[in-house]
Structure 1
């Protein structure tokens, strides 16, 4: 994996081919997690600015699917779970729309949208249906999803093992994002796309492995980007 310093971020394309997609500079999708303290107003603005410096088009996409379900699975009463979800989503939406309004108010190159806005796109629907099938038919994909769920829940359960309900809701949350790691170009109608996140994910090991199985499309790339003063060195 190569590393390049770009502005205030260190960029780690996951494979040499991901580096090519990065260098082509067609499109970047930057995932913004709700309720994650990493994504401050300043950080979201910096990420958007970095994207515009290096790509012709940028999408900031925040997760808004299954958030209330997750809070409820973690033990909050339904009304409180909904309230917390609304509060978190209001906050992340304000950060994204604020960055778009400041940097590209006409939305010519920078767009902000929730994950739910993708649900009506046929390519997203097709990929999401395939993932549902693979959860039962592909042990390798299911194992990776279980790993992601365990990683997400580890910091929320104070060392307690997750329940089946918690694990299943978390996997639904994860699978809502996976299509953007598989084929953003088909979903958003761009020539090629680099999916950017600030942590190494087990999912990337699967999607960019050699051989057969669930693999990212040829014009889909992935990179880990971190502020240069706190950059995470990927394994």
Structure 2
């Protein structure tokens, strides 16, 4: 990936074709994780401003599905898990709403929405249903999801192997996001779209590989967006 410094962010499209989608500047999805300390109020605002500087339309989408279930799977009592989920979601919603109000209060180019708002969209429904079929029929997809869940949960559990319930909940959490990694243009009705996050997408190696299998659509791209100072520090250490 080639990194470009754009204002306060370092931008790394995942493939050369993702660079083309970035340069087209049609649409960007900026994923905002609930309960993640990386996404401060100021950072969400700056990410939204970066998006508007480089794309005609921007969607800030925060994860709000299976959050309480994840806390339960990690060992929290159900009432405490629900309380933590509500607190986290209230916080991330406030940050996104504030950014939209500050930069585009009319919502002409910048929109903020939870992941659950996509459930009513036909293309999202179709793609999400297809993932359930793939979990049963596609060994490559199932293996990648299993590995991802094991890696995420083992870290959260202090090195302990995850239970089957924990693995299942984690995979549901991941699969709720995967449609946006696959075909945001179909879901949101845009010509092309760049999915932006501060880490490589969990399934990026699979989705942007050559050959057959589960692949991102031709008009779908991905880029890693990180603070420029972090990237410069990494380059100095390399």
User: 1:114 Cα deviation (Å)?
Assistant: 0.2
Q: Which has the higher helix share?
A: 2
Measured in 1, the distance between the counterparts of 2:208 and 2:178 equals 13
User: 1:202 Cα deviation (Å)?
Assistant: 4.0
Measured in 2, the distance between the counterparts of 1:174 and 1:64 equals 12
User: 1:68 Cα deviation (Å)?
Assistant: 0.6
Measured in 2, the distance between the counterparts of 1:150 and 1:229 equals 31
Measured in 1, the distance between the counterparts of 2:115 and 2:15 equals 26
- SS of residue paired to 1:12: strand
Q: Which residue of 1 aligns with 2:194?
A: 194
> CA offsets, 1:177-207, max 9 Å, x none?
0000000000000010000111123411101
Measured in 2, the distance between the counterparts of 1:202 and 1:90 equals 25
The number of residues matched between the two structures is 233
Q: Which residue of 2 aligns with 1:143?
A: 143
- SS of residue paired to 2:229: coil
User: 1:80 Cα deviation (Å)?
Assistant: 1.1
**1:26 maps to 2:33:** no
- SS of residue paired to 2:97: helix
User: 1:32 Cα deviation (Å)?
Assistant: 0.4
- SS of residue paired to 1:210: coil
TM-score (norm. length: structure 1) = 0.96
Measured in 1, the distance between the counterparts of 2:21 and 2:76 equals 42
TM-score (norm. length: structure 2) = 0.95
In the alignment, structure 1 segments of 5+ residues that lack a partner are none
Contact 1:147–1:202 (CA<8 Å) still a contact in 2?
Answer: no
Q: Which residue of 2 aligns with 1:37?
A: 37
User: 1:145 Cα deviation (Å)?
Assistant: 1.1
User: 1:136 Cα deviation (Å)?
Assistant: 1.3
> CA offsets, 1:43-87, max 9 Å, x none?
111110100000000000000000011111111111111111000
